[in-house]
Amino acid sequence: MDTAYLIETIIKVVVILLIFSALAGIGTYFERKILAFMQRRLGPMYVGPYGLLQVAADGVKLFTKEDIVPTNVVAPIFKIAPVITAATAFMAAAAIPFFPQFTIFGYTVHPIVADVNIGILYILGMMAVGLYGPMLGGMASANKFSLLSAARTAAVFISYEVVSGLAILAPIMMVGSLSLVDFNNYQVGGISHWIVWSQPVAFILFWISAFAETGRTPFHLIANDHEIIDGFGTEYSGMRWGLFFIGEYANMFFISFVIPLIFLGGFGDGSFLGAMGLLAKVAFFFFFFLWTRAAWPDVRPDQLMWLCWKVLMPIAVINVVITGFVMMF
Is the CB of 129 or the CB of 188 nearer to another protein? 129
Identity of the residue, 164 or 187, whose beta carbon is nearer to another protein in the bound complex = 164
Choice between 280 and 321, CB closer to another protein: 321
**Closest CB to another protein among 60 and 317?**
317
Long-range contacts of 190-199 (CB under 8 A, 24+ apart): 190/265, 190/268, 191/265, 193/265, 194/263, 194/264, 194/265, 195/171, 195/262, 195/263, 195/264, 196/263, 196/264, 198/174, 199/170, 199/171, 199/174, 199/263, 199/319, 199/323
| Min CB(216)–another protein separation in Å | 20
Q: Which is nearer to another protein, 51 or 130 (CB)?
A: 130
Per-residue DSSP letter, 271: S
DSSP-derived 3-state class of residue 105:
coil
Q: Least distance to another protein from the beta carbon of 80, Å?
A: 8
Report, in Å, the least distance between residue 56 CB and another protein.
Answer: 35
Nearer to another protein, 47 or 174 (CB): 174
Measured CA distances, 171 to 120, 206, 281 (Å): 11, 11, 19
The residue (of 243 and 290) whose beta carbon lies closer to another protein is 243
Catalog residues that contact another protein under the rule CB under 8 A: 1, 72-74, 76-77, 80, 116-118, 121-122, 124-126, 128-129, 131-132, 135-136, 139-140, 142, 147, 150-151, 154, 157-158, 161, 165, 177-178, 300, 302
Least separation in angstroms between residue 42's CB and another protein is 38
SS3 150: helix
- Exposed e or buried b per residue across 238-261, where buried means at least 16 C-beta atoms within 10 angstroms of its C-beta: ebbbbbbbbbbbbbbbbbbbbbbb
**Nearest-approach distance from CB 172 to another protein, in angstroms:** 10
Q: Quick check: 171 and 263 in contact, CB under 8 A?
A: yes
Strand, helix or coil for residue 97? coil
Q: Which is nearer to another protein, 112 or 126 (CB)?
A: 126
Q: How far is the CB of 281 from another protein (least distance, A)?
A: 25
Count Cβ atoms within 10 A of the Cβ of residue 234 and give its class: 0-12 exposed, 13-18 middle, 19 or more buried.
Answer: buried
In the complex, least distance from residue 229 CB atom to another protein, rounded to whole angstroms: 18
- Closest distance of CB 49 from another protein, Å: 44
Q: How far is the CB of 193 from another protein (least distance, A)?
A: 23
Of the pair 47, 154, the CB lying nearest another protein is at 154
The CA dihedral of 97, 98, 104, 107, to the nearest 10 degrees, is -20
CB distance 259 to 206 below 8 Å: yes
What's the per-residue H, E or C state across 26-49?
A: HHHHHHHHHHHHHCCCCCCCCCCH
